[in-house]
Amino acid sequence: MRRFGKNRKDNDTDTDIDMVPIMNMFLVLIPFLLSSASFFDINAIHTSVPVRQTNVNQNESESTKEAIVIPVIEMKADRIQLYVMSEQISANDLTKWDLSFTKQKDRFPFEDIQSYLQDMKNKYPKSDTILVIPDDDILYETIIQTMDLARNATETQLFPNVVLSEKI
């Protein structure tokens, strides 16, 4: 019995995995990844200011589906006013889109504004430009929030071309 136990002890082999090559690989990989890691993900919102058009190519169509409208968001300190500009729709139809959203509990009702813009996009799917006219004291953060909701709904793209302007 004692001899059997002695034999087992002799046959035991070291089964530890050699970690040194893995550690070497890690030591190479980590500095490389550190050098190309980005801790701040900076993106961009493309926008423009209104420019004078020299050549207006108007291809007017009578049907509402083809009509192109430009929604305007006027940002005031206490409310957001929305209306539509278009040369292809009658004044009566344009005034139907006039709406004002007042600030509630220091916050603009962005969800309601987005559903309004969604309805407009459904009615005039060819429209892709929106005009944002903030008041002087509106903060940049609020403007970016408004631009976000004007560009994208939850799944669909609304008005990707955002133009910043001032009240004339």
Partner 1 sequence: MALGQRRYQRKSFVIPKLQITSMMDMFTIILIFLLFSFSDNPEKLHIEKGMMLPKSTSLIDCNKSITVSLSSNSLKVGNHHIADVNQGVIQGFDRQHPEKSKLYHHLLSIHHHLDPKDDQDKSSIVIFCDQRMPYQTIHQVVKTSGMAGFPNFQFAVLKK
Under the criterion CB under 8 A, does residue 100 sit at the interface with partner 1? no
Given candidates 12, 111, 141, 155, which one binds partner 1 under the rule CB under 8 A? 141
Could you tell me the smallest distance in angstroms from the CB atom of residue 69 to partner 1? 22
Looking at the Cβ atoms of 10 and 41, the one nearer to partner 1 is: 41
Tokens of 64: 């509402």
Helix pair 140-151, 110-123: axis angle to 10 deg = 40
Provide the b/e sequence for 35-63 (b: ≥16 CB within 10 Å). Answer: eeeeeeeeeeeeeeeeeeeeeeeeeeeee
Neighbouring-strand partners of residue 132: 73, 164
Q: Which of 68, 82, 147, 158 binds partner 1 (CB under 8 A)?
A: 147
13 near partner 1, rule: CB under 8 A? no
Chain positions 46 to 75 lying near partner 1, rule: CB under 8 A, are 46-49, 51
C-beta of 124 vs 151, nearer to partner 1: 151
Say whether residue 41 binds partner 1 (CB under 8 A).
Answer: yes
Other C-beta atoms lying within 10 Å of the C-beta of residue 74: 17
Tell me if residue 22 falls in helix, strand or coil.
helix
Residues that bind partner 1 (CB under 8 A): 16, 19, 22-23, 26, 29-30, 33-49, 51, 134-141, 143-145, 147-148, 151-152, 164, 166
